[in-house]
Copies of this chain bind each other. A is one copy, B any other.
Amino acid sequence: MPRPSEPILSPDKIAQAALELIDSIGEFTIGAVARRLSVRPSSLYNHVGGREEIISLVRDSLIPETIPPFRELPWEQGLSDGIRLYRAILSDHPAVVPLLATVPLASAASARMYEEFAATMHNAGFPDEQILDAITAIDNFALGSALDMAAPPTLWTSPHWQARMRAVTEAAPRGRERADQSFEFGLRVLIDGLRARLPQQ
């Protein structure tokens, strides 16, 4: 391969190659990213510190440059908008989800998004000591919901269902409609539950 006339490596290109690997095979290694970019693994280390940094760059590449200022909305609405946005960001890349949970939330883009969540909850009246717990609940729910969107239409199908699961799976929609309906139900549950824990004003 001739030497390219412009540098083919940058943190962005490395993140993009890693994301393509994660989307197609569920994982990435430094070696596979290097092969995909036709460079030696050692060349990557001129641009990134290692695997953790690549995962952070992948996360950054998914988060929009501008986070809507949802702290300015009534808190239930702001939180709902934020959680829907977060799920939408993850939903096209469900295989990224488990990786995100394994590295520090060090990236600038993540920090902007979490600041918006934290400010929304602060404005609602939650004390600082509860806000990380609440954000974690939101995070866990959003991550789980993003995984659920990638589930097969037959997720809740089993020859082993007993009476009650047979009744409830027959009463439910299928596929993406099910995932969306369940997400919206869960979102209302989460908001109602958070409201119940809000200190009396």
Assess the A101–B164 pair: CB atoms within 8 A: no
Q: CA A119 – CA B136 in complex, angstroms?
A: 28
- The reply to whether A148 and B101 form a contact with Cβ atoms under 8 Å apart is yes
Q: Known contacts being A129-B172, A197-B192, is A148 close to B141, with CB within 8 Å?
A: no
Could you tell me how many residues of chain A have their Cβ less than 8 Å away from some Cβ of chain B?
Answer: 78
| Chain A positions 18 through 40: 1 when the CB is less than 8 Å from some CB of chain B, otherwise 0 | 00000001110000000000000
25 A–B contacts from the bound complex (CB under 8 Å): A97-B147, A101-B150, A102-B151, A104-B154, A104-B158, A105-B155, A105-B157, A106-B158, A106-B159, A107-B158, A107-B160, A118-B165, A132-B168, A132-B171, A136-B148, A136-B178, A137-B189, A137-B190, A139-B148, A140-B141, A140-B147, A140-B148, A141-B141, A141-B144, A189-B194
Q: Chain B residues with Cβ under 8 A from A97's Cβ? A: 98, 147
Give this chain's copy count: 2
Contacts of A150 in B (CB 8 A): 101-102
Q: Judge whether A196 is part of the interface by a CB distance below 8 angstroms.
A: yes
Out of B26, B118, B159, B196, name the residue touching A193 (CB < 8 Å). Answer: B196
A115 within 8 A of B: yes
Indicate whether A73 reaches chain B with its CB closer than 8 angstroms.
no
CA separation between A141 and B130, bound complex, in Å? Answer: 18
Interface residues of A in 97-154 (CB under 8 A from B): 97-98, 101-108, 110-112, 114-115, 118-119, 122, 128-137, 139-145, 147-148, 150-152, 154
CA distance A102 to B161 in the complex (A): 18
Chain B CB count within 10 A is highest, among A101, A115, A119, for A101
- Contacts A101-B147, A139-B148 known; A134 to B190 CB distance under 8 Å? no
